[in-house]
Amino acid sequence: DIQMTQSPSSLSASVGDRVTITCRAGRTITIYLNWYQVKPGEAPQLLISAASSLQNGVPSRFSGSGSGTDFTLTISSLQPEDFATYYCQQSYTTLPTFGQGTRLEIK
């Protein structure tokens, strides 16, 4: 398995803040990295694929970067609807694995 480690595990921020979440892979995964937003009671949403490709319909304040083992998800200006838990996930192997999640809370 490829272990995915996110930091921080939780984060408090205010509307309008710029936020960065980091994801590190246990070994190189080139750009085979996806980001998801999960809210209780809702269908999870794919935000970014291939490390930096924004999905259709996802606001442009979300961006992703990185390659190899280190990746980041950045939200440029937090909106109220962005408070959720975010997960990275590698698809480099046929055993997909997720990070442990980063819970983004309102300060």
Partner 1 sequence: QVQLQESGPGLVKPSETLFLTCSVSGGSISSNYWSWIRQPPGKGLEWIGYIYHSGSTNYSPSLKSRVAISVDTSKNQFSLNLSSVTAADTAVYYCARMSIVRAGTNFDMWGQGTMVTVSS
Contact residues toward partner 1 (CB under 8 A) are 1, 30-34, 36, 38, 41-46, 49-51, 53, 55, 87, 89-92, 94-101
Give whichever of 20 and 100 is closer to partner 1, judged by the CB atom: 100
**Class of residue 83 by CB neighbours under 10 A (exposed 0-12, middle 13-18, buried 19+):** middle
- Closest CB to partner 1 among 7 and 77? 7
CB of 53 to partner 1, least distance (A): 8
Phi, psi of 80, rounded to the nearest 5 degrees: -55, -35
Least Å distance, CB 24 to partner 1, is 15
End-to-end Cα distance, the chain: 35
Shortest Cβ distance from residue 11 to partner 1 (Å)?
A: 16
Selection from 49, 48, 53, 42 nearest residue 81 by Cα: 42
CB 73 within 8 A of CB 80: no
- Residue placing its CB nearer to partner 1 in the complex, 14 or 81: 81
